[in-house]
Amino acid sequence: QQQVKQSPQSLIVQKGGISIINCAYENTAFDYFPWYQQFPGKGPALLIAIRPDVSEKKEGRFTISFNKSAKQFSLHIMDSQPGDSATYFCAASDFGNEKLTFGTGTRLTIIP
């Protein structure tokens, strides 16, 4: 059962544009929503995360938007740069269960 659905599977954005990746979850017990970034040949690493008591969290050019009623959250990358080209995974967990549930990943390519 896919508890976290991620889209799109791949995304091509021009340099300077906005990259948007979406995730939807089913388990209402989830209360922590991180995004992981994976460069080729490397393991994923935590990029930014949000808890459901806020609707938005921004760190530099990266922003998470969270819609609790719709059970959706998204990653926005402003002024996208070629160095942002990577695979992005959304994830979710609940405080009573440490195990993270990952989305299927989005391969982002930023073109000049």
Residue 63 lies near another protein (rule: CB under 8 A): no
Residue 104 lies near another protein (rule: CB under 8 A): yes
Among 31, 71, 85, 109, binds another protein (CB under 8 A): 31
Distance between CA atoms of 32 and 96, rounded to whole angstroms? Answer: 11
98 contact partners, CB below 8 Å, separation of at least 6? none
Residue 71 lies near another protein (rule: CB under 8 A): no
Among 41, 60, 83, 112, binds another protein (CB under 8 A): 41
Taking phi first (over 0 means left), then psi (-120 to 50 degrees means alpha), and beta for anything else, what does residue 55 get?
alpha
Distance between CA atoms of 99 and 5, rounded to whole angstroms? Answer: 17
Taking alpha carbons only, the member of 41, 40, 31, 26 closest to residue 109 is 40
The one segment of 19-27, 28-36, 65-73, 78-86 that binds another protein by CB under 8 A: 28-36
Task: Say which amino acid occupies 39.
Answer: F
Among 23, 93, 108, 110, binds another protein (CB under 8 A): 93
Residue 44 lies near another protein (rule: CB under 8 A): yes
> Which residues sit at the interface with another protein, rule CB under 8 A?
6, 31-32, 34, 36, 41-46, 49, 51, 89, 91, 93, 95, 98-100, 102-105, 107
